[in-house]
Structure 1
Amino acid sequence: MSDTVTPMMAQYLEIKEAYPDALLFYRMGDFYELFFEDAEAASAALDIALTKRGKHQGKDIAMCGVPHHAAEGYLLTLIKKGFRVAVCEQMESPAEAKKRGYKAVVKREVVRLVTPGTLTEDTLLDARRNNFLCAWADIRGDGAFAWIDVSTGEFHVTPCPRVVLNPMMARLNPSEVLVMDGDETLREPIEEAGATMTPLARASFDSTGAEARLAALFGTKTLEGFGQFTRPELAAMGAVIDYIEITQKGRLPMIRPPVREEMDGAVRIDAATRRNLELTHALSGGRAGSLLTAIDRTVTGPGARLLEARLCAPSTNLARITARHDAVEAFVTDRLTAQDLRAALRRAPDMERALGRLSVDRAGPRDLAALRDGLTQADAIARMLGADMPEVISEAASLLVGHDALAGLLDRALVAEPPLLARDGGFVAAGFDTPLDEARTLRDEGRGVIAQMQGEYQDLTGISSLKVKHNNVLGYFVETPSTHADKMLSEPLSDTFKHRQTTANQVRFTTPALSEMETKILNAGGTALGIEARIFAELRAAVMDNAAEIAMAARALAELDVASALAELAVSEDWTRPTLDTSRAFRISGGRHPVVEQSLRRSGGSFVANDCDLSAEGEARIWLLTGPNMAGKSTYLRQNALIALLAQMGAFVPAAEAHIGLVDQLFSRVGAADDLARGRSTFMVEMVETAAILNQAGERALVILDEIGRGTATYDGLSIAWATLEHLYENNGCRALFATHYHELTALAGRLDGLKNATVAVREWEGDVVFLHEVRPGAADRSYGVQVAKLAGLPEPVIARARTVLDALEEGDRDTGGKAKALIDDLPLFAATPAPQAKPKAGPSPLDAALAEVHPDTLTPREALDLIYALKALSTGQAKT
């Protein structure tokens, strides 16, 4: 085969040169085709056949392809595997290309660069999660972080020093983060956050150019109407907009005015704390078992996205939190309205994302229908909400009305269930457009129209045998027997009927009206599609003229969904409204862990509620929690942190009563995990996370720490735990729960006024330990480690040996002042230790034997009473014995 580069391949190479870092989806007819290295990478990633097409520089040209109608599924796979895709479309038909010459190549252009942060299609997105594109900018040490969901237009920015970048990414879980070209120091934290790092030229981050770019975008002379933005904030926002222009090829989506968030507007939660508390993902991976899954009762996609945003960024604004609690309480109280609202919300489509696709001209008729149905439901919901509702609900209701004109237009224009693609036609309702109805009639009922004309011609000529016929040569024509030829060729009929052809027995004519109708019939299908395309464009324009109002209505529906969902949660789970203020209070009565409680309920168990009181004014308040493993210390620590978080996101809480002074930072050091990729042991990871807490926690922080110092030698670990506890008390001055197995620390309660000992109660029964899961004042005297090891299934010889060693160490510690080495030297080796003698099993007691003979279903009330007296006598006799 020739090695000459064909015009088509030359075009491909020219386009590919502009997108070296992306896979090029090159449209050829009904397929997107990929060549060279792109084909090899795509075939491996998509598991599709790799073929070849000609040669280039002496080598076969690798090729693979995917059908254009199924491209979205392949795009999703590639994006998830870290690829970027440049979509190159045909800008003209092959017939148009041939007009420019026999060898002319169809014009093609890249119309879109598909990246993780710029997706808009439903099939590529999770309906219940935001998909954020972010940018971080730094100007002379001042940082800022901007983020946008291209599919909804939600746009935010906040000050963000480098030290806060990781917590911000942990909060937002972005898909893609833009950074200045050459800044490789950010690659590791960005990739750790599960995002793709995309370097941009420094010009994209120019704050002066960004200000002009943003003003032009929103059609204003200045940005002052949206807030006062710093230079780093302008740079970050400008980079986001510039990147969207690059990837969307100038087709900017609908972008809402930027919302500036203050750094202290939300509770600061670092990545480790989010992971330890399993806010949105369980430690085992996936969403099942997370707090979000446990509390999510939303019935719409926008509501689910708003709920997650609130959970990931609980507010520190007391007025805002109170308003959210008022809304939830209103729906808790008025259950009938809440149930009607949730039923209506289930019928409300995702208007946010439909509007986003329409804004980038990537939508179909179903997106218009989504807006029609959504606005109709919005109006119905507004009518069902009373006028005396709390502020959050009444404000949302006010945004749901005033869309009658647009909703009416869409209702008249669209069929009930339109097709997916506008190019297929059939989405405009009958009666909306007269020319369209006529074109459809011709297309679908051409024979009937011709039959009607035939009847008219028969009446006009008085010739009952006149027929209108069709063939491929003449098209439509009027045919009469030759006996009527003279009449047809004479006036006045000759003015209407023009002779076309004479056969042996027939004469054929045409008329201007018949010729015109023939053209209409032949073109009716294309004419109908053209008219529908025009109508779609007009409807889209009407929607975009009202885009801001539609977006606010969609947001209002999400607000109502979240409030009613949290009310449903409160009622079904028996949660209560917390009291929040600006004090240092932290008083929980009957607190429960929401995730663990639901899990226990599913398995037929019940959760033991516990109290917690860290309230203090002018001093630190710390609880030092001791008790054995498996007793529930970690659950207790986590549940109190989650209760604070739920309260400040605006939800009711799993407790009988809760009084919480606002928390502005939440830190958690719970659990153990290594980080082998960066050469960190479990203990090193623990120390890094502990250092972050001690260096950052302020007096309004809530800190939960579990087993500090356990990953090293006993005295090293005890020393670190001791010093950490004192630092939290003396320097950080925060509210904290500190769980430990170092019982020596309990002595500090007598020296630090703000420290209180608490323990998780257990009971011993015949050498085993029974966990009561009840937190009480006081300190544990031991850890019951051997008993827990027995429950875990360690072999009995190991358990017996452990008891022997433990008894010797404890006795020696009392007698020799803790000279452990001497004790170990004197202790016989395992092999020399006599095997434990199995205790003979005792037979059943008289009480057990008597109970075994009882059949409750056969007892009369009198026999049952006599049995109780008899059993009591047996029990008393056993006790005396």
Structure 2
Amino acid sequence: NLKRFPHCLLLTRVGQFYESYFDQAPEIARLLNIKLTSRKWNGVQVPMCGFPLIHIDKHLKVLVQEHKRFVAMCEEFPRVTCGAKEFDRRVSRIITPGTLIDEPFLNPFENNYLLAISVPSNVDPISGFNHSLGLAWTDISTGEFYSRQCLLESLQDELARIAPREVILTNDFKSTPDHPVVKALVEEGSFISFVAFPHTDDIPRRVEYDHPHDVGFASHNLSAEELLGAYLRANLLEHMPTLPSPSHETALNRMQIDSHTIKALEIREGVYQGGSKGTLLGVIKRTTTSGGARLLARWLCSPSTSISEIESRQAVVASFHRHPHFRADIKEIIGDAEDIGRIVQKFLLGRGDCTDLLSVARTIDIWWAIIKRVNEEKFMKDTGTNEVKEDWRSFKTLVNQIVDLNYLSTRIRTALSTDSFVREGPTESMEGITEVEPTEGTQSFGKYQGKWMINPDFSQKLASLHRALQRFLQQKDRLERELQLQYEAPSLTLRSSPALGMHVHLSKAKRDKKQLDATPTFISISESGTTKSYFYKEWSHLGGLISETISALVLAEKEAFDILRHEVPYNAFALRRNAEILDELDVTLSFATLAAEMNFVRPRITDDSSFHVVNGRHPAVELGLLSAGRVYTPNSVEMAPTCNLHIITGPNMAGKSTFLRQTALVAVLAQVGSFVPADFATIGIVDKLFSRIGAKDDLFRDRSTFMVEMLETADILRRATPKSLVIMDEVGRGTTVKDGLALAFATVHHLTVKNQCRCLFATHFHELSDLLGWSNGISNQCAFSKVRFYCTDVVEIEDGHFTYAYRLQPGVNRESHGLKVAQLAGLPPDALSVASQTLNWLKRKEYERTTISPFCVPEITDG
């Protein structure tokens, strides 16, 4: 196995332990911080380490999640022999970061995607940004399977959106670290696995592809899907599921958010602290199910561009929002729902157990309870305006898609003996019982009473075996009482053990053994200071019958469980579809709860270039201020085809960047179907969302802050369309004033004349307004007639202090008040005095319009 899987760490099952040997043992001992020892092998001491079976999940998390290592699991499989118990050992699965199934450390609220990328052989590494790539990705734990094609220039955006745990490339890319695909993966911090591309003839077709007729589209995606399938078969081995047909995504039905914007807007993960705290996801999340949480994250990173889809979601949100009691009832019902997507996948992988079956039954009951509660809701269809009734019809349309699976729930509940779930792992009872004798000392057969998983009436065979077992156990009880009375031995019991077989046991031998010793039918087989055991033929025969019946019952239960277990894969499509509907109900219910808590409104969605938001708010910033007892200052924005670019000026820390971000987040929330933080909103569909905010240097890749800024700006100017929304903050700040001003003007010019997109452009280059023809709020030049100017300001207070006026107003503010911000930051008074004198001197010399000799410096006075 070490030779077969040289790229893996090999863990070998030995009884109740996992062990590692030879050269891998020191590495595993170091990674897991466990003791390294040695074992004699063919007369030679070899390194060895190991740990108990119960610690496997903890150590897999360290090896796979933290250290990104591949782990080959070599398991024991009982060998059918006539003699002693023997095992065969073989690798049944290779665990990688992207192929987790049901491990306890798998985050239930996040997808664990494995992504394969197919790169055409004719892609030019230098100028191939317009070439198409094939993408295929799946979450093995849920069975979700997607594919799409994308341009090479959009690959990094797709990586940020999908957030794969592992990415697969062919071996060709091992030696090409400068290839743009590899560079994009490195840029996003993706974990890359290199594999040999499978020959088509070697690929067993386990997926039926239903591609569009576009041959180019099909070939790119088909190659990615084949690469993904081959990788899964090579690693899942005996746990390989039959993959469903992939869901094919297109760029036309989803808002494209570039990778910089997903990070800058902190949609899913915080920029500074990581995690979801303070992010859009963390702030708006009110979901109660793990599937709903995963769906919410997917929606936020790929909002819809379909007006009908958005409005259907809004209708469900509105129905929940209007009636708090109905909302509370549904929330309570779905709160107990299980993660059916992952449970169904467990059964498809052959890993489901009795507890999972009961989870399926409980969730089916929850689906039925939802339908029942919705049907009881009379006021929705009998009262209200046409809009209310139309919303309720949309709500009912969604709920009515739930497939009736009550027969499956009834069958599971009828079959399983729920009172008998007294062990931690149901699978152990179904598949782990291979012997009828207890393994811990000597015990009575009474422990088998009431401990069965399947109800006796599930089949005639089970019922007959249970009746026989009860009859034999009753005979055993009668025999035990008769022997106790006949031989005056109150401590006598009839027992079985692996060492002694069927035997008569005395727990108080000194008191009770006299008559038994004198009877030849009792043959002494074991004795200690206080106990004694005998062989007794009648009990040996009866105990044998009990043992045979228990063995038959164990096998019959396994057969019955296998029948039940196959019910789930048979109904997998319906179960998954119902789970998807429940997830959507959970997310829309979350939106309604959020809207009620934070006074969000339902936006109107249009197909034009309008963008009108009255008193919009940044949801994360508002929540942070409210928790501190402060009030958020809302701001409005109105863009239309005749005025689609706004220049925003004003002091530092006066809310310009927050306003830009809140506008973008309002667009995201509107197009996922949520209500938005505003008093009124009309949003024209945004096909692409871009931001140029908060650049920082990238020294590892030899990129200065200014280079990063220009790369992001170039990407926006190249890709933005008339239906896009762009927010840009301080373009050109990383170079000289003249160069920066020129670049800022060129960027605005290109966005207005070429891209013609909606844009908010914040800047401290006050001269930019003059270049754009600012004059009392009206642009004089025809080329910039669509540009409007807004600003923030500060308000001076009598005692020399000041406060910010965060509300935007028409106009241009030529004061950035940088010295005031420096004062707030605690700059020493002497330094502030020098800065103030220098600023006054520069103003007198009209620094911006004259050339100053390097030897002509301002005169600074002490004080």
Scaled by the length of structure 2, the TM-score of the pair is 0.83
Is the Cα–Cα contact under 8 Å of residues 454 and 466 in structure 1 kept in the other structure? no
For the residue of structure 2 that corresponds to 1:16, the secondary structure is: coil
CA distances 1:193-218 after superposition (whole Å, capped 9, x unpaired): 343211222226x4x876xx44x445
Q: Counterpart amino acid of 1:113?
A: I
Kindly state the Cα deviation for residue 770 of structure 1 after the two structures are TM-superposed.
1.2
How many angstroms apart in 1 are the aligned matches of 2:364 and 2:48?
47
Task: Tell me: CA distance 1:31–1:819, structure 2 relative to 1, closer, same or farther (3 Å).
Answer: same
Task: Tell me: CA distance 1:682–1:575, structure 2 relative to 1, closer, same or farther (3 Å).
Answer: same
Which moved further from structure 2: 750-759 or 39-48? 39-48
Name the counterpart of 1:755.
Answer: 787
Is the Cα–Cα contact under 8 Å of residues 326 and 390 in structure 1 kept in the other structure? yes
Is the Cα–Cα contact under 8 Å of residues 472 and 542 in structure 2 kept in the other structure? no
For the residue of structure 1 that corresponds to 2:23, the secondary structure is: helix
Task: Tell me: CA distance 1:24–1:810, structure 2 relative to 1, closer, same or farther (3 Å).
Answer: same
Task: Tell me: CA distance 1:175–1:97, structure 2 relative to 1, closer, same or farther (3 Å).
Answer: farther
Name the counterpart of 2:608.
Answer: 583
Task: Tell me: CA distance 1:411–1:505, structure 2 relative to 1, closer, same or farther (3 Å).
Answer: closer
The one of 246, 249, 253 equivalent to 2:237 is 249
Task: Tell me: CA distance 1:643–1:465, structure 2 relative to 1, closer, same or farther (3 Å).
Answer: closer
How many angstroms apart in 2 are the aligned matches of 1:723 and 1:239?
44
CA distances 1:743-792 after superposition (whole Å, capped 9, x unpaired): 00112142210111100132123444311211111010211001110010
Name the counterpart of 1:78.
Answer: 63
Q: Counterpart amino acid of 1:415?
A: T
Name the counterpart of 1:52.
Answer: 38
CA distances 1:504-549 after superposition (whole Å, capped 9, x unpaired): 6676899999665311334566555444333332221121111111
Q: Counterpart amino acid of 1:123?
A: P
Is the Cα–Cα contact under 8 Å of residues 253 and 357 in structure 1 kept in the other structure? no
For the residue of structure 2 that corresponds to 1:42, the secondary structure is: helix
How many angstroms apart in 2 are the aligned matches of 1:404 and 1:595?
42
Task: Tell me: CA distance 1:89–1:226, structure 2 relative to 1, closer, same or farther (3 Å).
Answer: farther
The reply to whether residue 796 of structure 1 matches residue 796 of structure 2 is no
Is the Cα–Cα contact under 8 Å of residues 480 and 494 in structure 2 kept in the other structure? no
The reply to whether residue 234 of structure 1 matches residue 222 of structure 2 is yes
Task: Tell me: CA distance 1:517–1:612, structure 2 relative to 1, closer, same or farther (3 Å).
Answer: same
The one of 5, 9, 12 equivalent to 1:26 is 12
Name the counterpart of 1:415.
Answer: 418
Name the counterpart of 2:719.
Answer: 696
Kindly state the Cα deviation for residue 326 of structure 1 after the two structures are TM-superposed.
1.1
The reply to whether residue 834 of structure 1 matches residue 857 of structure 2 is no
Is the Cα–Cα contact under 8 Å of residues 809 and 820 in structure 1 kept in the other structure? no
Name the counterpart of 1:854.
Answer: none
Kindly state the Cα deviation for residue 302 of structure 1 after the two structures are TM-superposed.
0.5
How many angstroms apart in 2 are the aligned matches of 1:427 and 1:780?
79
Q: Counterpart amino acid of 1:609?
A: P
Name the counterpart of 1:223.
Answer: 210
For the residue of structure 1 that corresponds to 2:636, the secondary structure is: strand
For the residue of structure 1 that corresponds to 2:2, the secondary structure is: helix
Q: Counterpart amino acid of 1:410?
A: I
Q: Counterpart amino acid of 2:796?
A: E
Q: Counterpart amino acid of 2:244?
A: R
Name the counterpart of 1:393.
Answer: 395
The reply to whether residue 787 of structure 1 matches residue 787 of structure 2 is no
Name the counterpart of 2:114.
Answer: 133
Is the Cα–Cα contact under 8 Å of residues 403 and 574 in structure 2 kept in the other structure? no
The reply to whether residue 262 of structure 1 matches residue 257 of structure 2 is no
Asked which structure has the greater CA Rg, the reply is 1
How many angstroms apart in 2 are the aligned matches of 1:455 and 1:789?
94
Task: Tell me: CA distance 1:225–1:66, structure 2 relative to 1, closer, same or farther (3 Å).
Answer: farther
Task: Tell me: CA distance 1:715–1:508, structure 2 relative to 1, closer, same or farther (3 Å).
Answer: closer
Kindly state the Cα deviation for residue 655 of structure 1 after the two structures are TM-superposed.
0.7
Kindly state the Cα deviation for residue 182 of structure 1 after the two structures are TM-superposed.
1.3
Task: Tell me: CA distance 1:43–1:445, structure 2 relative to 1, closer, same or farther (3 Å).
Answer: farther
Count, aligned residues:
775
Task: Tell me: CA distance 1:197–1:331, structure 2 relative to 1, closer, same or farther (3 Å).
Answer: same
Kindly state the Cα deviation for residue 393 of structure 1 after the two structures are TM-superposed.
3.3
Name the counterpart of 2:710.
Answer: 687
The reply to whether residue 710 of structure 1 matches residue 754 of structure 2 is no
Which moved further from structure 2: 446-455 or 325-334? 446-455
Kindly state the Cα deviation for residue 741 of structure 1 after the two structures are TM-superposed.
0.4
Kindly state the Cα deviation for residue 52 of structure 1 after the two structures are TM-superposed.
2.3
Name the counterpart of 1:864.
Answer: none
Q: Counterpart amino acid of 2:616?
A: G
For the residue of structure 2 that corresponds to 1:671, the secondary structure is: coil
Is the Cα–Cα contact under 8 Å of residues 112 and 249 in structure 1 kept in the other structure? yes
How many angstroms apart in 2 are the aligned matches of 1:474 and 1:117?
49
Kindly state the Cα deviation for residue 43 of structure 1 after the two structures are TM-superposed.
2.0
How many angstroms apart in 2 are the aligned matches of 1:195 and 1:520?
61
Is the Cα–Cα contact under 8 Å of residues 226 and 259 in structure 1 kept in the other structure? no
Which moved further from structure 2: 676-685 or 640-649? 676-685
Kindly state the Cα deviation for residue 179 of structure 1 after the two structures are TM-superposed.
1.4
Kindly state the Cα deviation for residue 457 of structure 1 after the two structures are TM-superposed.
12
The reply to whether residue 329 of structure 1 matches residue 332 of structure 2 is no
The reply to whether residue 574 of structure 1 matches residue 602 of structure 2 is no
For the residue of structure 2 that corresponds to 1:320, the secondary structure is: helix
For the residue of structure 2 that corresponds to 1:160, the secondary structure is: strand
Which moved further from structure 2: 381-390 or 691-700? 381-390
Scaled by the length of structure 1, the TM-score of the pair is 0.82
Name the counterpart of 1:157.
Answer: 147
CA distances 1:37-93 after superposition (whole Å, capped 9, x unpaired): 3222222222222222347998x6332222222211211121122111111111226
Gaps of 5+ in 2: 123-130, 382-390, 431-450, 505-514, 524-534
Task: Tell me: CA distance 1:295–1:122, structure 2 relative to 1, closer, same or farther (3 Å).
Answer: farther
Which moved further from structure 2: 702-711 or 65-74? 65-74
How many angstroms apart in 2 are the aligned matches of 1:805 and 1:427?
88
Task: Tell me: CA distance 1:438–1:209, structure 2 relative to 1, closer, same or farther (3 Å).
Answer: closer
Gaps of 5+ in 1: 1-14, 478-500, 836-881
Structure whose residues are more often helix by fraction: 1
Which moved further from structure 2: 582-591 or 673-682? 673-682
Kindly state the Cα deviation for residue 465 of structure 1 after the two structures are TM-superposed.
11
How many angstroms apart in 1 are the aligned matches of 2:452 and 2:319?
41
Which moved further from structure 2: 132-141 or 249-258? 249-258
Task: Tell me: CA distance 1:826–1:70, structure 2 relative to 1, closer, same or farther (3 Å).
Answer: closer
Is the Cα–Cα contact under 8 Å of residues 211 and 218 in structure 2 kept in the other structure? no
Name the counterpart of 2:361.
Answer: 372
Task: Tell me: CA distance 1:351–1:502, structure 2 relative to 1, closer, same or farther (3 Å).
Answer: closer
Q: Counterpart amino acid of 2:749?
A: E
The reply to whether residue 451 of structure 1 matches residue 477 of structure 2 is yes
How many angstroms apart in 1 are the aligned matches of 2:480 and 2:32?
59
How many angstroms apart in 2 are the aligned matches of 1:589 and 1:632?
16
Is the Cα–Cα contact under 8 Å of residues 137 and 145 in structure 1 kept in the other structure? yes
For the residue of structure 2 that corresponds to 1:282, the secondary structure is: coil
The reply to whether residue 298 of structure 1 matches residue 287 of structure 2 is yes
Q: Counterpart amino acid of 1:251?
A: H
Task: Tell me: CA distance 1:523–1:825, structure 2 relative to 1, closer, same or farther (3 Å).
Answer: farther
Is the Cα–Cα contact under 8 Å of residues 369 and 414 in structure 1 kept in the other structure? no
Task: Tell me: CA distance 1:408–1:744, structure 2 relative to 1, closer, same or farther (3 Å).
Answer: same
For the residue of structure 1 that corresponds to 2:146, the secondary structure is: strand
For the residue of structure 2 that corresponds to 1:297, the secondary structure is: coil
Name the counterpart of 2:618.
Answer: 593
Which moved further from structure 2: 579-588 or 765-774? 765-774
Q: Counterpart amino acid of 1:121?
A: D
The one of 308, 312, 321 equivalent to 2:301 is 312
For the residue of structure 2 that corresponds to 1:797, the secondary structure is: helix
Q: Counterpart amino acid of 2:618?
A: H
Is the Cα–Cα contact under 8 Å of residues 207 and 242 in structure 2 kept in the other structure? no
The one of 327, 335, 341 equivalent to 2:330 is 341
Task: Tell me: CA distance 1:235–1:435, structure 2 relative to 1, closer, same or farther (3 Å).
Answer: same
Name the counterpart of 1:878.
Answer: none
How many angstroms apart in 1 are the aligned matches of 2:253 and 2:220?
19
How many angstroms apart in 2 are the aligned matches of 1:504 and 1:769?
108
The reply to whether residue 519 of structure 1 matches residue 544 of structure 2 is yes
- After TM superposition, the structure 1 = structure 2 runs for residues 718-797 of structure 1, keeping only pairs within 5 Å, are 718-747=741-770, 748=772, 749=774, 750=779, 751=781, 752-765=784-797, 766-797=799-830
How many angstroms apart in 2 are the aligned matches of 1:147 and 1:807?
60
